[in-house]
Amino acid sequence: MLQQMNGHSSDPNAHGGELREDLQEFLGRDTPLHLLNDLTKVNPVTLETVLRCLQARYMADIFYTNAGCTLVALNPFKPVPQLYLPELMKEYHAAPQPQKLKPHIFTVGEQTYRNVKSLIEPVNQSIVVSGESGAGKTWTSRSLMKFYAVVAASPTSWESHKIAERIEQRILNSNPVMEAFGNACTLRNNNSSRFGKFIQLQLNRAQQMTGAAVQTYLLEKTRVACQASNERNFHIFYQICKGASVEERLQWHLPEGATFSWLPNPERTLEEDCFEVTREAMLHLGIDTPTQNNIFKVRRKAMALIFGRSEGQPLHRALL
Ligand SMILES: Nc1ncnc2c1ncn2[C@@H]1O[C@H](COP(=O)(O)OP(=O)(O)OP(=O)(O)O)[C@@H](O)[C@H]1O
């Protein structure tokens, strides 16, 4: 992280072989760097000092840092389940001043939620999640959706509780489906979203979740026919190839172990390859098994048409 950014060396010794005076002063300060919760408090604000601070926090397993009203999220590249527990979501939700708690994506979620709540005429709130490929945007969006599913789904009556649960579950189930059809393994990220998305969560006047809409754009369609070496096609094709049942294989004319010229690197086993998870999520979204089968049949035919037949299979059989 400290090596190179935008072509500028961030080596503090690059300035005449000695640490610059202001940087020396910054590094020698009394407060340990990892305790700096807000990058605007870094003084002087330079590439070196900001990166030093983020690096110190990363080494101390602190992955969120404020930068004024923006939140910087570092990808931990390891599971940190204790950071995303429902109890923690509730803690941020119940806090009188969540911004006084440790920086977290839940602070942003809660602040936004309160903004909607505090206005007499409800005004839409937006959270922009940006970063380079593999930075953790999908993870962050998922965490926000889980947060709202917990804090915005607590209606009182049993009947409405059932409805809220259904909506909450559906919102969360949209993720595996979107990711199966729109994500692929790239050099930078095993589960890279190859499309942009605008997720809208709808609340009623009591700030309970009543629905959600996802608009997708800019799907990287060219990946179907052309992938960089060591990258893969969209997950769904591998899921079908690896996860179809014996009956489905017969029905879809998909022999066990069939290989396709445009489905490279099938030997890589990813957790995203799980067909069952996609099917289950589709079921929860109201896409029943016969409809699912039709969707997968079309996918299978696309595989024959676009990817070429599985080895040794005549075309008329592949298109059946
Ligand atoms: N907060 C986190 N905790 C644990 N793991 C994380 C976290 N953020 C990201 N990751 C890991 O990093 C991987 C890449 O993150 P993610 O898919 O969210 O990146 P992205 O910014 O959406 O990338 P792309 O633009 O390529 O879709 C995740 O699959 C996950 O393994």
CA of 272 to the centre of ligand 1 (A): 13
Binding site feature residues for ATP: 131-138
Query: Which is more confidently placed, 18 or 223?
Result: 223
Residue of 198, 227, 228, 201 whose CA lies nearest to 212: 201
Tokens at residue 254, please? 């998909």
Q: Whose CA is nearest to atom 11 of ligand 1?
A: 77
CA of 140 to the centre of ligand 1 (A): 8
Sign of the dihedral through C-alpha 96, 100, 103, 109: positive
CA distance 222 to 234: 11
Residue of 184, 194, 283 whose CA lies nearest to 237: 184
Q: Let me know if 262 is exposed, middle or buried by CB neighbors in 10 A (0-12, 13-18, 19+).
A: middle
Show the domain range for 33: 1-70
- Ligand 1 binding pocket mutation candidate from 58, 108, 128, 138 (most atoms within 8 A of CB): 138
**For the CA of 143, the nearest atom of ligand 1:** 1
Is the minimum distance from the CB of 286 to ligand 1 under 6 angstroms? no
Q: Are 306 and 222 in contact (CB under 8 A)?
A: no
Residue pLDDT, tens place only, 229-279: 999 999 999 999 999 999 988 888 788 888 888 889 999 889 999 999 999
**For the CA of 190, the nearest atom of ligand 1:** 29
Residue pLDDT, tens place only, 29-88: 777 889 999 999 998 888 889 999 999 999 999 999 999 999 999 999 999 999 999 999
The confidence score (pLDDT) of residue 205 equals 83
Q: Is the ipTM of this complex over 0.95?
A: yes
CA distance 36 to 42: 8
Residue pLDDT, tens place only, 4-44: 333 344 454 444 445 577 777 777 777 788 999 999 999 88
Is the minimum distance from the CB of 80 to ligand 1 under 6 angstroms? yes
Q: Where are the alpha helices (DSSP H) in the chain?
A: 21-27, 47-59, 86-94, 105-118, 137-151, 158-182, 235-243, 246-252, 275-284, 289-307, 315-318
Task: Kindly state whether residue 258 falls inside one of the protein's structural domains.
Answer: yes
pLDDT-derived band at 168, boundaries 50, 70, 90? confident
Task: Kindly state whether residue 16 falls inside one of the protein's structural domains.
Answer: yes
Task: Kindly state whether residue 304 falls inside one of the protein's structural domains.
Answer: yes
Query: Which is more confidently placed, 158 or 143?
Result: 143
**For the CA of 135, the nearest atom of ligand 1:** 21
Is the minimum distance from the CB of 196 to ligand 1 under 6 angstroms? no
Task: Kindly state whether residue 47 falls inside one of the protein's structural domains.
Answer: yes
CA distance 301 to 307: 10
Lowest mean pLDDT among 26-35, 180-189, 288-297: 26-35
CA of 147 to the centre of ligand 1 (A): 17
Task: Kindly state whether residue 278 falls inside one of the protein's structural domains.
Answer: yes
> Among the three residues 45, 70, 95, which one is the final residue of a domain in this structure?
70
Number of domains in the chain: 2
Is the minimum distance from the CB of 65 to ligand 1 under 6 angstroms? no
Task: Kindly state whether residue 18 falls inside one of the protein's structural domains.
Answer: yes
CA distance 301 to 257: 17
The segment with the largest mean pLDDT, out of 88-97, 203-212, 298-307, is 88-97
pLDDT, the chain, mean: 85
Binding site feature residues: 131-138
> Among the three residues 70, 99, 126, which one is the final residue of a domain in this structure?
70
> Among the three residues 20, 49, 70, which one is the final residue of a domain in this structure?
70
Residue of 191, 53, 59, 197 whose CA lies nearest to 130: 197
CA distance 131 to 133: 7
Task: Kindly state whether residue 206 falls inside one of the protein's structural domains.
Answer: no
Query: Which is more confidently placed, 112 or 310?
Result: 112
Q: Whose CA is nearest to atom 23 of ligand 1?
A: 134
Q: Are 168 and 212 in contact (CB under 8 A)?
A: no
Task: Kindly state whether residue 149 falls inside one of the protein's structural domains.
Answer: no
The confidence score (pLDDT) of residue 167 equals 78
CA of 134 to the centre of ligand 1 (A): 5
Is the minimum distance from the CB of 192 to ligand 1 under 6 angstroms? yes
Tokens at residue 103, please? 């920086």
Dihedral angle over CA of 39, 45, 51, 55, nearest 10:
-50
**For the CA of 139, the nearest atom of ligand 1:** 18
The confidence score (pLDDT) of residue 26 equals 76
Is the minimum distance from the CB of 137 to ligand 1 under 6 angstroms? yes
Neighbouring-strand partners of residue 183: 193
CA of 75 to the centre of ligand 1 (A): 7
Q: Are 238 and 273 in contact (CB under 8 A)?
A: yes
Is the minimum distance from the CB of 134 to ligand 1 under 6 angstroms? yes
CA of 137 to the centre of ligand 1 (A): 6
